[in-house]
Structure 1
Amino acid sequence: MGGMSEQIIAACDGASKGNPGPAAWAWVIADTGGEIGRWEAGPLGAATNNVAELTALQELLEATDPALPLEVRMDSQYAMKAVTTWLPGWRRKGWKTASGSPVANQGLVMRIDELLKDRTVDFVYVPAHQVDGDPFNAAADRAASHTARTQQAAGTSLGSALPPPEPQTASRSTGRGRPSASQPTAKRRTKATRPGGGSIKAKFPGRCRCGQPYAKGELIAKNPDGWGHPACVTEAKTTG
């Protein structure tokens, strides 16, 4: 076996119908032929998207051999940032945020930190819901979404078939329709084709609706509760 083939390729995703609402986690592991080898999904009852995303990562790390290098593909910017950017600082500060409050989802974050010790994990961000997007992430997304609705565990160990793709009704309606009442009427010059078209650089640090802070200069976007991570805005629109 050559070097690369020994790396485990996997994806994980969480879903919450309502955020918070009926939620679930899922992971998918590729086989050596590049097809879906194993997958699991589990219900979480009522939980937020962020809890579902972090749980999916925890479950994936617990289900894979720590001796083998792992590539994790995920579409949650929050979970990616949490493990790749914020974690070391949180650990240094004794699991407190910059403002001194406890880190959101602290138990999950600490468990993931423990699971990441002494193993090689590459995190790869893949945008969700792309026509030619990553097949493993798409499968994890489907499994999480389906299990969030059914609240029934599923997966290869239970002999389940992957749920079919969901009808993409919700995402189509989030296109550029009429501006909602909360949007300022002044025309903002943002190209609609750019991903995260409505995002700007934060002039001041603040806190997003997901409970995580953002820094001055970080890209933020308008959401129903004010300003925050662009990922949390799209999440608010597409879930439910």
Structure 2
Amino acid sequence: MKLLAIETATEACSAALLLDRDVWVRFEVEPRAHARLILPMMEGLLAEAGLSLGQLDALAFGRGPGAFTGVRIAVGVIQGAAFAADLPVVPVSTLAALAQQGLDEGADQVLAALDARMGEVYWGAFRGDEDGLAVAAGEERVCPPEDAPLPEWRGWLGVGHGWSAHGTVLTSRFGDCLSGRPMPDALPSAAEVARLAARDFTRGRAVPAESALPVYLRNRVAEKPRHQAL
């Protein structure tokens, strides 16, 4: 399988090329440079492997949730590439890609949280399948950290910068449900997007370019404070 993936939903910008079981990745933390970085990353990976877009089996992208601008960049870039090369696209949850890092560290189940600003988190619970790849254990949502849904089981690992921004509240809320030290510095990467997309592609979950849509979870791009000094 030959698959190119991108992830731009957070301050991290990355692209990854999966060739069978090998994954090559370009990754940079540049919060305001995604539009400038992502195409050279993709082109560099293809050049290094001696491939063109048309030789790939599919494209993949982190569909969100995450920063609105970052998610829109991913959708625009991947749709353009897919239309140009007539390739199918595999959308992958950004939270699932984040959770995969915790599973790769040995966790059996992960509570993935990204700071959504406005006192909220993007939230998702994930467990590993038979191959150790992330599958949702509930619906993804955006909510205040104190309202994050309590899981039915114990032994969950917290992953993502939602645990850094709201660690006190989340740790207090989940208490004995947690196991191990959280990974608050983890950022989603195209490397995990590629691996999850490869699984989903083999299961027939690819879509045409026009159906490669973002998942925001929240429609509010910005909100003015209710009480603002004149």
TM-score normalised by L of structure 1: 0.34
Question: Which of the pair has more CA radius of gyration?
Answer: 1
> What TM-score does the superposition give when structure 2 sets the normalisation length?
0.35
